[in-house]
Structure 1
């Protein structure tokens, strides 16, 4: 189910973003992505309209719109390739 992001989704969304960013950009030091978590939490997520994809009550992905443009789309690495 896709639903609008709620504040209580914050840590799950940030964890998905961090894990997916590290995996997709393995040529960038993981520490860089870790240093960007607070920017995601305090700047980017609040500035966007974010929706989460939830299965069995668990958030497994999200996307964010900024000024009606797709700004981000992330899927938890362990759920990629499952065709959901």
Structure 2
């Protein structure tokens, strides 16, 4: 996030137009806890094939009553039904 602040400050000084950027909601990983880019099964990529998405959802951490670390619920809330 610091790079966005840096870019907002310095890009106009270098002659570039002010840029816009999108921020994503922070959601837990599919394995519970923090999402990790080094663990491909902890996240759903937009370019994942449908069968890969199904496999990841079926293997996801989904403990009864644990809403805070439920990656599936967070994904639905942030991506499918914002």
TM-score bracket, normalised by the shorter chain, equals under 0.3
TM-score of the superposed pair, with normalisation by structure 2: 0.25
- Please identify which structure carries the higher strand content: 1
Which of structures 1 and 2 has the bigger CA Rg?
2
Higher RCO, 1 or 2 (CA under 8 Å, sep at least 6)?
Answer: 1
TM-score of the superposed pair, with normalisation by structure 1: 0.24
